[in-house]
A and B are shown apart, each in its own frame.
Chain A
Amino acid sequence: MEPLGTFEIIARVLYQFTSVWLALIILFAVSIAFKRRLGLYGKLFDSPIGMVGFALVMFWIFTGVFGQFDLIVTHDSLSQVSGMKNKVPGTPMPRPEEGEYAWYLLGGDNLARDVFSRVIDGAWVVVQIAPLATLFAFMVGITLGLPAGYFGGRLDTGISFMANLILAFPVILLFYLLVTPEIVLTGVPNFMAAVLFIFPVVFAGVLINSRYHTQPKFRTPLMIVVLGGMLWVYLSLISTNGYLVSNKDYAIPALPEILDLFDVSGGILVVFVSVVFVNSPTVFRIVRGLAMDIKTRDYVAAAQTRGEGAWYIMLWEILPNARGPLIVDFCLRIGYTTILLGTLGFFGLGLPPESPDWGSTINEGRKLLSIYLHPALPPALALLSLVLGLNLLADGLREESLKD
């Protein structure tokens, strides 16, 4: 078979994304039609910058998700095909089987795997980890930042010192110290997971209790359902094969295997924990600053005069009024988390070496960069466009939220 020309490659790549284009068109058509009824999200469609950003972000989210349903990928991202090592984009397969895609659209990497499919699968790694890790970092930051800003004093000094301690660490050194296999063996990341992941549970508990503690009949069942569910997920998250940590020296049992809902593979958990750990002090500082600013407002004073509890004021008066800057920062921070994930991959830390995530692929591609460009460039541009999309989205949101 003939190798593909440039235009044919572009056309075929665009065609592979058909499902994503359709989903994007539907999403935009529906959102623009109903934009007046959708609040801040609807206003996003008034700003061209925000729309471009949102389109880029949604493009990669759809790509990541549909890639998992085999709608986009042309080959298995891990399988190697002999004769395709370092081949240029558009090279036909030597002996394509029945029903197999006959070309490597973006060429093969140095292990003869399809670059195009690896980029698509890499999107799924980011879509899985980045938003969730950022959400966890926000939970930790909010749960610690609100009391630090609201109460001040010793508590504030103590937590701020800890946050500055983590911030003073060079991120890469921290990654190297936390993510090496030897450290993983001792269970340090598992302990950190156990501590960091409890924050959403605490947050939900305090949130419900501070609001409904005057109606115990309603509160108690709600608490049992919500906290029970969250604790179950929490325990499933931190325990693997029935243990929190299990190595040759000691083992700490956790949730029995029968009750374990899902298993997070070791590499992903460690990466997740370290990214949350690095992000939460910055979120803490932002929330603390906002809380210190908002606690001087009149509506907080009114709530205090009403005799509301401290946690009610923090979570139901201060937090909703801090949502604007927090939403904007959330978008920016997902972008930053994506960059951090790439950094981890770039240094070959955490995720398994054959993992298709963008950082690892760039790292592998850069070694032969002066001869072959095609393995390193697509993941680099993919990462760039996603982070750019998130930054533009944050910019659009900031602009629109300032307009009210």
Chain B
Amino acid sequence: MGLFILRRSAVMILTAICLTFIVFFLTNLYPNLEKLAKTQGNFRMSDEAVTSWLTKNGYLQPLPVKYGQWLGVLPGWVIDADDGVTGRCITGTVSPKVAEQAASYCGIIQGNWGQSTVFKDEVGGIIAARLGRTGALMFWVMLLMVPSALVVGVMAGMNEGSKTDRTLSTFSIITTATPEYVSGVIFIAVFASSAVGLKWFKGTATQAAKNMPDDYGIAWLPDWMVGFWYRVFEAPTLENFLLPVLTIALYGMGYIARMTRASMAEVMTAQYIRTARLKGVKFSNIVMKHALRNALIAPFTVIMLQIPWLLNGVVIVETLFNYKGFGWAMVQAAGNNDIELLLGVSVVSVMVVLATQLISDIGYVYLNPRIRIT
């Protein structure tokens, strides 16, 4: 088992390196750099001005060198100009003496995620704050999605072909056919529109995000606990949080429910269930005590593998409901070619994807005694 995890982790790191290199390559193509220079400098820059701006900021070095510097395995660039020294690890223009004090390596390994050009802030800080908000969203999504999907799936699967099964299966097919940007629009139209709707909820979650500041004042609890409590229970209200949560949960739910149904239906045809029935065990007991445990192995993997898909939903929903979280930051970074922020975002999301894959593999082995790894 230890070797398995070790090997998987190695593949994970290799994948992350390959992916970030692809992102690095695509964001560092010359037209993208030119756009960056023009948004940072001014839009009427001549070609020479663009080149000199890019040189001054270290963007025109060879690609592998730049990537090495970002990763932190090569020393950061330093340029001596007339008015002082600039460099990757130096903020602003400083005198040569100060420059000598600065660290020579400053990449992601050293914990330096770089500067965001859109938000004018540290990438690490931005990502941490945004991830906290998205985490609150995901918490409620999972809390709503997983139990209801499992209930729907088990109810449908325990009597295959019955009327309940037909109804619930149709319901799950409808939810899988409704992408977030469709269900979100319908929800806003029905529940939030000021023209004809019910006006029960708000069509934006901006307020919920605003109520989640980055630092919290209570000293006697660990910071992250206060933050977690505050983000998840205090800041969001039913009015501004239900619609986004429902929108994401609904799309993911149908798939998990269908998988649970298939798994449950399969278990219900097994020999030991028939034996239990012939012994005269009550049907509710058969379902709860005999079938459920085995039927929930497959959905566990599905739920874990669903998390990367939820990430897509998060981006759409955060854009639609204007909730300034991780997905929103990703759209901003991608739209403005904010290289360092984009890289940070992709590192985080790739890690999430790979970690959930690893957990689902380990969990599957742990839950299913029939599988042994050699």
| A contact residues vs B (CB 8 Å cutoff) | 161, 164-165, 167-173, 176-178, 180, 182-183, 185-186, 188, 249, 335, 339, 342-343, 346-347, 359, 362-363, 365-366, 369-373, 376-377, 380-381, 383-384, 387-388, 390-392, 395
- Distance A384 CA – B181 CA, assembled complex (angstroms): 10
A359 touches B19 (CB 8 A): no
**A-side contacts of B78, CB under 8 Å:** none
Q: Which of the residues A165, A176, A366, A383 comes within 8 Å of B331, measured between beta carbons?
A: A176
**Residue in B31, B181, B331 whose Cβ sees the most chain A Cβ within 10 Å:** B181
A362 touches B195 (CB 8 A): no
Minimum CB–CB distance for B355 against chain A, Å? 11
Closest to B251 in A: A339
Closest to A247 in B: B31
Instruction: Fill in one digit per residue for B310-348: 1 if any A CB lies within 8 Å of its CB, else 0.
Output: 011001100110000001001100110100001001100
B195 touches A373 (CB 8 A): yes
Which of B53-61, B62-70, B186-194 faces chain A?
B186-194
Q: Does B15 contact A (CB under 8 A)?
A: yes
Q: Does B30 contact A (CB under 8 A)?
A: yes
B186 touches A170 (CB 8 A): no
B350 touches A380 (CB 8 A): no
**A-side contacts of B32, CB under 8 Å:** 180, 182-183
- Distance A185 CA – B29 CA, assembled complex (angstroms): 10
Q: Which of the residues B34, B178, B179, B346 comes within 8 Å of A173, measured between beta carbons?
A: B346
Minimum CB–CB distance for A352 against chain B, Å? 17
Q: Which of the residues B31, B186, B315, B350 comes within 8 Å of A172, measured between beta carbons?
A: B315
A366 touches B320 (CB 8 A): yes
B19 touches A377 (CB 8 A): no
**B-side contacts of A366, CB under 8 Å:** 181, 185, 188, 320
Minimum CB–CB distance for A290 against chain B, Å? 17
**A-side contacts of B103, CB under 8 Å:** none
Say yes or no: A168-B186 contact (C-beta < 8 A), given A183-B26, A343-B179, A346-B316.
no
- Distance A343 CA – B312 CA, assembled complex (angstroms): 10
- Distance A173 CA – B345 CA, assembled complex (angstroms): 9
**A-side contacts of B371, CB under 8 Å:** none
B334 touches A359 (CB 8 A): no
- Distance A255 CA – B29 CA, assembled complex (angstroms): 27
B177 touches A165 (CB 8 A): no
Known: A173-B349, A186-B31, A373-B189. 12 other contacts (CB 8 A): A161-B11, A161-B15, A168-B19, A170-B308, A172-B315, A186-B30, A342-B182, A346-B319, A370-B193, A371-B194, A387-B177, A391-B176
- Distance A165 CA – B23 CA, assembled complex (angstroms): 12
Q: Which of the residues B19, B27, B337, B342 comes within 8 Å of A165, measured between beta carbons?
A: B19
Minimum CB–CB distance for A389 against chain B, Å? 8
B334 touches A369 (CB 8 A): no
Minimum CB–CB distance for A369 against chain B, Å? 5
- Distance A371 CA – B195 CA, assembled complex (angstroms): 5
A165 touches B18 (CB 8 A): yes
B35 touches A376 (CB 8 A): no
**Residue in A167, A171, A177, A249 whose Cβ sees the most chain B Cβ within 10 Å:** A177
Listed by A's residue number, 18 A-B pairs whose Cβ atoms lie within 8 Å are A168-B19, A168-B354, A173-B23, A176-B331, A177-B23, A177-B26, A178-B26, A180-B32, A182-B337, A188-B26, A366-B188, A369-B203, A370-B203, A373-B196, A376-B185, A380-B181, A380-B186, A383-B182
Say yes or no: A388-B173 contact (C-beta < 8 A), given A186-B30, A372-B195, A380-B186.
yes
**B-side contacts of A381, CB under 8 Å:** 182, 186
Closest to B23 in A: A177
**A-side contacts of B181, CB under 8 Å:** 342-343, 346, 359, 362-363, 366, 380
**B-side contacts of A395, CB under 8 Å:** 173
Q: Does B174 contact A (CB under 8 A)?
A: yes
- Distance A357 CA – B313 CA, assembled complex (angstroms): 20
Q: Does B353 contact A (CB under 8 A)?
A: yes
Q: Which of the residues B29, B174, B334 comes within 8 Å of A186, measured between beta carbons?
A: B29
**B-side contacts of A176, CB under 8 Å:** 330-331, 334-335
**B-side contacts of A365, CB under 8 Å:** 185
**A-side contacts of B337, CB under 8 Å:** 180, 182
Closest to A184 in B: B31
A376 touches B189 (CB 8 A): yes
Say yes or no: A170-B185 contact (C-beta < 8 A), given A182-B31, A391-B177.
no
- Distance A157 CA – B346 CA, assembled complex (angstroms): 24
A170 touches B177 (CB 8 A): no
**A-side contacts of B312, CB under 8 Å:** 170-172, 343
- Distance A60 CA – B197 CA, assembled complex (angstroms): 28
**B-side contacts of A390, CB under 8 Å:** 177
- Distance A363 CA – B185 CA, assembled complex (angstroms): 10
Minimum CB–CB distance for B326 against chain A, Å? 10
Closest to B202 in A: A370
- Distance A161 CA – B186 CA, assembled complex (angstroms): 39
6 closest A-B pairs by beta carbon, nearest first, are: A176-B334, A182-B31, A388-B177, A387-B177, A380-B182, A339-B179
Closest to B195 in A: A371
**B-side contacts of A380, CB under 8 Å:** 181-182, 185-186
**A-side contacts of B342, CB under 8 Å:** 173
- Distance A366 CA – B197 CA, assembled complex (angstroms): 15
B189 touches A369 (CB 8 A): yes
**A-side contacts of B31, CB under 8 Å:** 182-183, 185-186
Contact residues of B between 162 and 220, Cβ < 8 Å to A: 173-174, 176-179, 181-182, 185-186, 188-189, 192-197, 203
**A-side contacts of B331, CB under 8 Å:** 172, 176, 347
- Distance A148 CA – B18 CA, assembled complex (angstroms): 21
